[in-house]
Every structure is written in C-alpha cells, then in structure tokens.
Amino acid sequence: MKPAVFDYHSPVELEEALNLLDEFGYDAKIMSGGQSLIPMMNMRLARPKVLIDINNITELNYIRITDLDIKIGGLTRHHQVEESKEIEKICPLLSEGMKLIGHSQIRSRGTIGGSVVHADPTAELPVMLTTLGATVTLASSEGIRTLTTDEFFMTYLTTTIEMNEILISIEVPIPPPNTGYAIDEFTLRKGDFAIVLAAASVTLKEDGKVESASLCLGGVDGVPVLLDEVTDELVGKEPDSDLIADCCSRIEDLVDPEPDIHASAEYRKDLCITYAKRVLERAVERAAQQLK
Ligand SMILES: Cc1cc2nc3c(=O)[nH]c(=O)nc-3n(C[C@H](O)[C@H](O)[C@H](O)COP(=O)(O)OP(=O)(O)OC[C@H]3O[C@@H](n4cnc5c(N)ncnc54)[C@H](O)[C@@H]3O)c2cc1C
C-alpha cells in the first residue's frame, strides 16, 4: 500500500520546524529516520496531512561529551552512537544495545529521537535510557523542557510529548568508576524486536560490594520497567550468583506481562527472570574487572 496524500516540508532550522508545528498542529507529523512512521503511513495506520521532514536540520545531529553527561542530538542516527569510540569507552551499554536494534540498514537511517518518541516497549533505547537514568529534552516555540524517562514514557507507543514539541536531545549521565553494564534480549530471529529484553548497570565499591545498581526490563509492560525492588537488595552486599538469583526470583511477583501470539505470560515471566539474572551477573563481572 501507499500512504494517503500529504503535504511535504523540509525545514533546515529547528525554529522553522517548530513554526510549522505551530501552524499545522495535529495535522502535522515529524519524520526523522522514517523507519517506523513510513511503514505506518503505508499501512494507513498514520495519515498525517503534513509531513515535516527534519533530516536537513543538521544542528540536531551530534554527540557531545562533557564532564557531566553524554548529550546526543535527536537526529543522530543509531549507527553513529554504535560506532562512537568515545561512547564505547565511557558508556559501553549504549554501544552494545545499539547493535541489537534491527539490522544495519535500520540503524543507518533510524534516529535517537524517532526511537525514543515512537516508544515501543520492546525497543532497546527506551530500556537503556531508563537503566542509565537519562533525560530527554524537548523544544517548542514556547521553550525547552527536560524530562526523566519516568515522566516521558506513558504507555504503549505513547509519551508525554506535546503536539508542538520536537525531541532535540537525550542526556546520559557519565557513570562513576567501577561501573559495569550489560544488555541482552530474547528474539525469535536475529534483528527482530525483542520478546523480552533486560539491561543492567552495577557500580562496585573498592571492597567489591555494590554501591548502586539498576535493572530495567522491556517487553513486559507498556513502558520500560525499572526494578528497584530487585537492585535495592544488592546494595551494600557482595554480589555473588546466589544473591543475584535470590533477588531476581522476586521478579515473579513484580511483573505481570500480557500474553500475545509470540509468548504466553508465564513464558515471558520466565524470560524476565533468566535475562535479569544474566545481565546483572555480566554487569557485576565487568564492574569487578575494573577493580583489578
Ligand atoms: C524491519 C525493522 C526492524 C526494526 N527493529 C527494531 C528493533 O529491533 N529495535 C528497535 O528499537 N527498533 C527497531 N525498529 C525501529 C527503528 O529503530 C526505528 O528507527 C525507530 O523506531 C524510529 O526511528 P526513526 O528515526 O525511523 O523515526 P520515524 O519513523 O521517522 O518516526 C517515528 C515516530 O517518532 C516521531 N518523531 C521522530 N523524530 C522525532 C523528533 N525528533 N521529535 C519528535 N517526534 C519525532 C515521528 O513523528 C513518529 O511518530 C525496526 C524497524 C524496522 C523497519
């Protein structure tokens, strides 16, 4: 199928794009990589009367690293993050997770802003950002606001972005020393959207005990699920396999996934526990390597 008829605009500055959003309101849709929006338009699940293509707004394509955070512009492509040597060194979770997004063709067009605003609950980026305590920054003609992932993701494919806003950047805090990360997922075929995915970050103290940790699951609810109830139990303790397994067994009572054509609720729950254990163990191992 082909999309319904639409008018096309290709602004070269953010201000111009924001003015177009003000002018056309709910009739308009932003297009960045087009990897999700165009298939939806072709299937007539989305019928914007006006398409605002932001691909020429080059000011939104950047990776900037400061002492405090990694700032990534909304138009930055997945492959740019995947291939950044600096990001690989400072925050390897992002590099590792990017490689799990679809196929290289998708990653060469798909953008950070598109992936975050599309808000698929099994997408890697929202889960990584939640694990990392990242923020998202939105611009409108009225100004700029920065939100936590908790404030941004609402439910399946739905966020708190307003109709006149554009996601201009994400900000990932620079992790403390002795931090290890991991991300892993269960897919039916390589490159498919995950059935369940898990990401973890663990920071160890010099004595090998856990300073802080976070664990986030995707594919179990409409938004990424941060499991502080699990990781709080690790803090201040030596994180061996038995402790991690014991903490992860709590997930049984903490998640309530929906069944679908790919997996029953029980199977999805089992996957959550298996993958949570796996990423926590790997993150601890990687953090411990830095203590040596
Ligand atoms: C075959 C295939 C496999 C895929 N596999 C995966 C996968 O395994 N994991 C995964 O995470 N994703 C996967 N994707 C999706 C891919 O990551 C998309 O790139 C992403 O979801 C959307 O990014 P985009 O830049 O293409 O956005 P678009 O398709 O252009 O836009 C998506 C939505 O975001 C809005 N939008 C885009 N940019 C902005 C912005 N800056 N500000 C405000 N609104 C904006 C659009 O209006 C639209 O509603 C797959 C896609 C395909 C086609």
Identity of the amino acid at 28: A
Give CA–CA dist 106/33, Å, rounded: 9
Mapped onto helix, strand or coil, the DSSP state of residue 270 is: helix
Share of the chain above pLDDT 70, in %: 100
Domain shared by 143 and 219, yes or no? no
Quote the radius of gyration of the chain (alpha carbons, Å). 19
Average pLDDT over residues 178-190: 95
Give the CATH number, domain containing residue 80.
3.30.465.10
pLDDT of residue 171: 98
4-38 pLDDT, tens per residue?
Answer: 999 999 999 999 999 999 999 999 999 999 999 99
- Beta-carbon count within 10 A of 264 CB: 12
Tens of pLDDT, residues 82-130: 999 999 999 999 999 999 999 999 999 999 999 999 999 999 999 999 9
Q: Give ligand 1 pocket residues (Cβ under 6 A).
A: 29-37, 39, 74, 101-102, 106, 110-111, 113-115, 117-118, 120, 123-125, 166-167, 193
Residue 86, pLDDT score: 97
Whether residue 1 is predicted with pLDDT greater than 80 in this model: the reply is: no
Structural domain boundaries enclosing 263? 179-291
Q: Residue 18 belongs to a domain with what CATH number? A: 3.30.43.10
Centre of ligand 1 from the C-alpha of residue 268, in Å: 24
Give the residue-averaged pLDDT of 171-191.
95
Calpha distance 30→20 (Å, rounded) = 10
Asked whether residue 66 falls in the same domain as residue 112, the answer is yes
Counting the structural domains of the chain, the total is 3
Decide: 6 and 50 in contact? Cβ < 8 Å. Answer: yes
Q: Are 46 and 28 in contact (CB under 8 A)?
A: no
With 90 as the cut, is the pLDDT of residue 191 above it? Answer: no
Q: Is residue 1 assigned to a domain?
A: no
* Mutate which of 21, 35, 154 for ligand 1 pocket (most atoms within 8 A of beta carbon): 35
**pLDDT confidence band for 246 (50 / 70 / 90):** very high
Is the pLDDT at 289 greater than 90? The verdict is: yes
Which residue's structure tokens are 């932001």?
54
Q: Are residues 121 and 190 in the same domain?
A: no
The answer to whether the CB of 269 falls within 8 A of the CB of 251 is yes
Could you identify the residue written with the tokens 């997922």? 185
Residue ranges of alpha helices (H) inside 55-194 are 78-83, 85-90, 92-98, 104-109, 112-118, 124-132, 149-152
pLDDT surpasses 80 at 54: yes
Q: State the pLDDT confidence band at 147, using cuts at 50, 70 and 90.
A: very high
Count of residues in the chain:
292
